[in-house]
Amino acid sequence: MENLEKLRSLLSESTKDMRLNLSSVLSGDGLTEQQRWTVGLCAAYFLRCRTLSDALIADAGDRLDAAHVEDAKAAAAIMAMNTVYYRSKHQINLPAYETMRASLRMNRMVKPATDKGVFELCSMACASLAGCEACLKSHEASLRKEGFSESQVHETIRIAAAINGFVVGYEAER
């Protein structure tokens, strides 16, 4: 994990927790190694941190194949769109908007390159980063329907939170 280690070394003592959290969530349990790294990569894409996403890909080895990288990109882009749209409708909270269709393409969610579960994990991470209540509830329900446990959903949110903290710490040090 040479590239991630270089990034981690750039964080000072004041952001030491973020160095440790990054390592912890990528080597945690509850999700498979491939799921953890895909969710972490998706979160880095969602946060637009090219330096971290490049380091994750470079250090992933066989943890990430091309399909997982592409689904991480797709989930980040779709959720960047969806979290704005659905969060806005939810916050306006008027009946007229509830009946209006999004009419936004998101076919990749239905037919991901990997599997529905991995794509939903990525979507859940992005929903948590965006703070979109409607998206959080929708993706949590989808994950539970796909057979994921509450602790696996929790682990996904932890990964997103740690990636977010790392990105903020990294940017503060630059």
Please, what is the end-to-end C-alpha distance for the chain in angstroms? 21
Task: Exactly one of 42, 49, 126, 135 is catalytic; name it.
Answer: 135
Q: Is residue 135 annotated as part of the catalytic site, yes or no? A: yes
Task: Exactly one of 49, 122, 126, 132 is catalytic; name it.
Answer: 132
| Chain position carrying tokens 């990054």 | 22
78 contacts 108 by C-beta, under 8 angstroms: yes
Q: Is residue 49 annotated as part of the catalytic site, yes or no? A: no
Which residue, 2, 5, 12, is CA-closest to 171?
12
- Which segments within the chain are labelled E, that is strand? none
Which residue, 94, 166, 82, is CA-closest to 124?
82
What's the residue count for the chain?
174
- Catalytic site positions: 132, 135
